[in-house]
Amino acid sequence: MSDKNLKIGNDHVGRRIDNFLISFFRDLPKSKIYSMLRKGEIRVNSGRIKPLYKLKINDEIRIPPYLIDLKNKEPNLKIPPARIKEFIKSIIYQNDDYILVNKDSELSVHSGTKNQFGLIDIARANFPLLDIDLCHRIDKSTSGCVLIAKNKLFLRHFNKQLMSNKVKKKYEAILFGVLDKDVKVKSKIDISTKEHNHKVTESNYGKEAISKFKILKKFTSFTYVEIHISTAECIRLEFKAQILTTQ
């Protein structure tokens, strides 16, 4: 990054300029970014561009000086050292492209109104020089594996695999009640997102969601099951059965 320009490398080729800026300036409101693009305050190769413009190798993005100051400021978010140590211990595997983490239950993947910081914030604090992003999400109360990308090339690769249903999602859970046999649940799910809040509802116009419950063991009042999730666009399925614990 020069005094006024960002030069695009292989990691960001093909990304839309608006999405790139939103991820680069995470603390800046989206409305501000779109306003600057509309007014021509942000330019590519000295020319005006629209938010849908797709970045090319060696594109130079002109950044207003006050945004450079914003990017270089110390982050306000302070992660407790104990949380960093817990994160390091939770790493199952990592290489140059990704980190596989065993997320604890009751730890959100994102910060929010009730959470000062989430898993992604801890990861970014531990790897400040890397372009850290979540590849997928699991609920706060759910423990299990979460994949975190170290660069945009791997993030796009994983997203393509996810969207084409080449990624298998498997959960284990204890359910109230005893299932007589394996169950297959089909529904149509619609999802809306505002900031980091996701609302999932059943809708005739939603995407098809399928979950298969395979019985692993029966108890007097509970059933231990394995759940395979398959969705048209990998939308999270809200199970009608109440899940007590998940892994």
Catalytic center residues = 139
Q: Write out the two tokens for 70.
A: 């914003």
End-to-end CA distance of the chain: 42
Helix axes 119-126, 81-90, angle to 10 degrees: 90
| Distance (Å, whole) CA 186 – CA 93 | 34
| Distance (Å, whole) CA 190 – CA 156 | 23
Helix (H) or strand (E) holding 82: helix 81-90
Q: CA separation (Å) from 213 to 15, 210, 217, 224?
A: 38, 10, 12, 10
With beta carbons less than 8 A apart as the criterion, state whether 207 and 200 touch: no
Can you point out the beta strands (E) in the chain?
5-7, 43-44, 60-62, 91-94, 98-103, 133-134, 144-149, 169-176, 183-194, 197-202, 207-218, 222-231, 243-246
| Distance (Å, whole) CA 238 – CA 141 | 13
